[in-house]
Amino acid sequence: MLRVLRAVITDIDGTLTDERRRLNLQAVQTIRTLQDNGVEVILASGNTSCILKGLSKLIGTGGTFIGENGGVYRVGFTGNLQVLPDRQVALDALDLLTRHFQEQGIRLDMFSPRERFADVAFARTVPVQEVRDLLAGMNVTVLDTNFAIHIQEAGFSKGRAFRTIVSDIGIPLSDFVAIGDSENDIDMIQAAGWGCCVANAGEEVQKAAAFTAGRPYGDGFVEVMARAFPHILAR
């Protein structure tokens, strides 16, 4: 790895957390150390902007985040929230799914429906492939993050939002290390100068990454950051 890296974009669930969604405290400290030494750290997640606003402050990033799998983003703590897809497209798809599963006596367990502006998300209590088959004729993307099923208008992603943000913050894609664990992280990982994943990442994610950590979850994040920024984290 010969390039000089100046920034980080990271997934949260499964990358900074364990399988129970508990933050790895060493990963949090690593982010704070990087940010305090001039390395911009961006959170990129399927979570809502409400959650990401709080996490950005409490973890100690510079405030920039991507939420709802690229559906929304904010630059810095004072930037306005930007919404990219048309959420009505996702809501129309959800209506079809709701009616289909209600006929089977199944109720979808929705995640934060009032706090989402770009997508819809629900628990993985129904088969992902069945959802994809039902929505095959609609202009939507179905994402399985291993923690939830997300639906949003096709053509939007973490990677697309990532490419939009870099022009606002003035750091090129080539200067970023990106890290994640699931399918919604693939285009983000491929867009960065050094794309990585943690050991618990799926097979397709590992194929897309230039480097796979030997450790899973937050420990894998810490491992990758130590490789990317030895001049900071070896102090």
Asked if residue 109 lies in contact with residue 122, where contact means CB atoms within 8 angstroms, the answer is yes
- Report pLDDT digits (tens) over 93-112: 999 999 999 999 999 999 99
The rounded distance, in Å, linking the Cα atoms of 6 and 10 is 14
Please name the residue that has the structure tokens 């990358």: 15
Q: CATH number of the domain at 87-153, please? A: 3.90.1070.10
Rounded to 10 degrees, the C-alpha dihedral 207/210/214/220 comes to -110
Which of 158, 155, 117, 152 has the alpha carbon at shortest distance from 131? Answer: 152
- Over range 163-179, report the average pLDDT: 95
**Is the confidence at residue 205, as pLDDT, over 80?**
yes
**Is the confidence at residue 1, as pLDDT, over 80?**
no
Which sequence spans correspond to the domains of the chain? Answer: 7-83+156-233, 87-153
Give, in words, the CATH class of 7-83+156-233: alpha beta
Please list the active-site residues.
11
**Is the confidence at residue 235, as pLDDT, over 80?**
no
6: CB partners within 8 A, 6+ apart: 38, 39, 40, 171, 175, 176
Residue 196: strand pairing partners: 179, 211
Q: What is the pTM of this model?
A: 0.94
- Report pLDDT digits (tens) over 120-164: 999 999 999 999 999 999 999 999 988 899 999 999 999 999 999
Asked if residue 149 lies in contact with residue 122, where contact means CB atoms within 8 angstroms, the answer is yes
Three-state DSSP class for residue 49: helix
- Report pLDDT digits (tens) over 23-68: 999 999 999 999 999 999 999 999 999 999 999 999 999 999 999 9
**How crowded is the C-beta side of 7, counted as CA atoms within 13 Å?**
22
